[in-house]
Amino acid sequence: MAPAGPQPGASAETTYVVAAADTAIAVGSGGLAVLGTPRLLAWMEAATCDALAGSLAEGATSVGTRMSVEHLKPSPIGATVRVRAELNHVDGRLTRFLVVAHHPDGVAVGHAEITRVVVDAQRFLSRV
C-alpha cells in the first residue's frame, strides 16, 4: 500500500551536540566558536526531512524552497541542542513546517518556518 502522503502533525526531533565543525568559525558565518547559524538551519532542515520520512511515494523526495529562521541564543562547543520540526500545513505538494531548537533546560536557541515541495526525484534531476 502506498504512503498516505504528508499529513499535518507529522513531526521529528533530533538531538545534537555542538562540535568545533559546527561553529560560526568553521562554517564561515562569523568569528566566534559558537553554533553557526548555517549549521543550525541545516539541522532544522534535516528535521523537516525526517518528519516527511515514510510519507512520500516511491521515487518522491522533497526540496527546500523557503526558510525564515531566527537564531536567538548562542550555543558553545559541547552544548546540547534539540531540534523539533512539526508539519503544520499541507497544500498539494507544498509542505510548511514550524521548527524549534532549544537547550535541554528549555532555553530557545532558535525557530524557523521552512517550506518544502514534494517532487519526483528523477524528473527533478532531469532538469538540473
Percent of the chain with pLDDT strictly greater than 70: 98
Q: What is the CATH number of the domain that holds 45?
A: 3.10.129.10
pLDDT digits (tens, 9 = 90+) for 46-78: 999 999 999 999 999 999 999 999 999 999 999
Q: Domain for residue 5, yes or no?
A: no
Is 2 a member of any domain? no
- pLDDT, tens digit, 9 for 90 and up, residues 27-36: 999 999 999 9
Distance of alpha carbon 82 from alpha carbon 10, whole angstroms = 17
| Domain range enclosing 101 | 11-126
Note whether residue 3 is domain-resident.
no
Q: Quote the mean pLDDT of the chain.
A: 97
Tell me if 24 is assigned to some domain: yes
Full-model pTM = 0.95
Q: Please determine, for residue 8, whether its predicted confidence score (pLDDT) is greater than 70.
A: yes
Cα dist from 33 to 21, 56, 123, whole Å = 9, 38, 41
Task: Say how many domains are in the chain.
Answer: 1
The label of the residue with cell 500500500 reads 1
Contact partners, residue 60, CB within 8 Å, separation at least 6: 118, 119, 120, 121
Residue 1 located in a structural domain: no
